[in-house]
Amino acid sequence: MNKPTFFRSSVMGIVHLWRSVMDVKFNPLKYVADPSLQSYFMLVLFTIWSVAFGFIATYHLGWLGYSTVTSVVVHLTVLIPILVTNAVFVDAERDGEQWLKEWNEERSRYRLFTNRLKAKNLVRWNQNSEA
């Protein structure tokens, strides 16, 4: 069993992490019908939270030179590429792209292979002592 490349593992991990936190299938924004409005509300919420954490850091941690605008820009430079990556993967899933199926199958097979000995219901049969 070949281990997936670091790039593939990283990209798939980012996509799964993003979906577990930010996917509208799991948060209340799933009731907003338009996907562009959902993205807009998510970005607005992100901005509100980064500013709020900036104020908290400034006040409680004593970071007097802390720049809330810089915090927002840094967060945007991290989150926007993740948002674009998620959009590419959603589009690929909708179109049934072969490369995405292969990456998911490879990841699934490798996880199954590496976790095969961690199963709680697994009982090894020792032929020498039980036969």
Helices (H) and strands (E) in the chain, counts: 5, 0
| Domains of the chain by residue range | 30-95
Indicate the pLDDT class of residue 119, thresholds 50, 70 and 90.
Answer: low
Tell me the C-alpha distance between 22 and 36, whole Å: 14
Contact in structure between 1 and 93 (CB atoms under 8 Å): no
pLDDT digits (tens, 9 = 90+) for 36-76: 888 888 888 888 888 887 777 777 777 667 777 877 787 78
Q: Across residues 109-123, what is the average pLDDT? A: 70
Taking phi first (over 0 means left), then psi (-120 to 50 degrees means alpha), and beta for anything else, what does residue 62 get?
Answer: left
